[in-house]
Copies of this chain bind each other. A is one copy, B any other.
């Protein structure tokens, strides 16, 4: 069922049908009615490819996420979906798995797919490439800041979040607070580590390198780190993990060694993954407004598409105190 066929069946020209479809110009009421009837009668579906080729717009927004099955960006994707809904634009999502090479390919994929706009969620693709792309289509980046593209980047205050988490432990009387950090090359990991250090410093507590272990943001690394911590010579009464997934791993390590949370060791995570409400005990963590970030990103892209200047609202992080932290005993 092509547009031309509809036009013939309705006894008008293809242009008229197209105009009705797009509201491009005025059409007499009678013709409009005839056309609309045949449109539904023939169950016409426009060919997006032809449309995109002719108009130069595909009504789609590319979304580069990192791991489609990772809980972390899930809510953000939902927010993006929601923010794009009823705008006429559709998200096209593809994942880069935190590998620069793959991310580049994914970006190429989206570009050749002629997406009208783009949202980049984290990742390690070179800033340079993102700037290039931003020159071609409206782009917004979440979870990373690209020099020269600051207005279109939304990063959260990881430093403050980590500071609040550590401060919370300090307020509970903890003095020996371990930190399971993320990959050192990762900006978020750096900021969270520095927030941790700053909180210690402000409280006049010494920074002990032996209490900081490096992880990779996955559960397994949290498990390993906590295990090493337990077996190590340093005493500690609390752990601040740079993300919830590593906190889960640490939780298991503690369980294995018979250490209770929070009675023996307090535990704090970062991200507030959906699952963190249901861990035993429910995890104290730093919530990132991931859903809202997705909505904001969608709104921003939509605005750019309309020619408006980029606008991303400031979004803060929030400490969520649950039951994995308690006042230090003894």
Contacts and interface: CB of A to CB of B under 8 A. Distances in A.
Contact of A48 (B112, B223, B274, B277): B112
Interface of A: 45-50, 52-53, 58, 67-71, 73-75, 77-78, 81, 90-95, 108-109, 111-114, 219, 223, 248-249, 251-252, 255, 274-275, 277-282
Contacts of A50: 49, 53
Contact of A81 (B95, B108, B280): B95
* Residue in A58, A248, A280 whose Cβ sees the most chain B Cβ within 10 Å: A280
Given A49-B58, A69-B274, 8 more contacts: A49-B114, A69-B73, A90-B94, A249-B278, A252-B277, A252-B278, A252-B282, A255-B280
A279 B279 CA distance: 7
Contacts of A280: 251-252, 255, 279-280
Nearest to A69: B74
Given A47-B53, A275-B248, A68 B81 contact: yes
16 contacts: A45-B111, A47-B114, A48-B114, A49-B114, A68-B68, A68-B74, A68-B77, A68-B81, A71-B275, A90-B109, A91-B94, A93-B93, A251-B278, A251-B280, A252-B277, A255-B280
Contacts of A70: 74
Nearest to A52: B49
Q: Is the interface of A mostly helix, strand, loop or mixed?
A: helix
A79 to B, nearest CB: 10
B49 A53 contact: yes
A106 to B, nearest CB: 9
Nearest to A109: B90
Nearest to A68: B77
Given A45-B111, A48-B112, A112-B46, A93 B71 contact: no
Nearest to A291: B69
B45 A108 contact: yes
A62 to B, nearest CB: 11
Nearest to A282: B252
* Residue in A46, A69, A282 whose Cβ sees the most chain B Cβ within 10 Å: A69
Contacts of A53: 47, 49-50, 53
A60 to B, nearest CB: 9
Given A252-B282, A279-B279, A282-B252, A75 B69 contact: yes
Contacts of A69: 71, 73-75, 77-78, 274
Contacts of A108: 45
A81 B275 CA distance: 25
A251 B50 CA distance: 53
A93 B112 contact: no
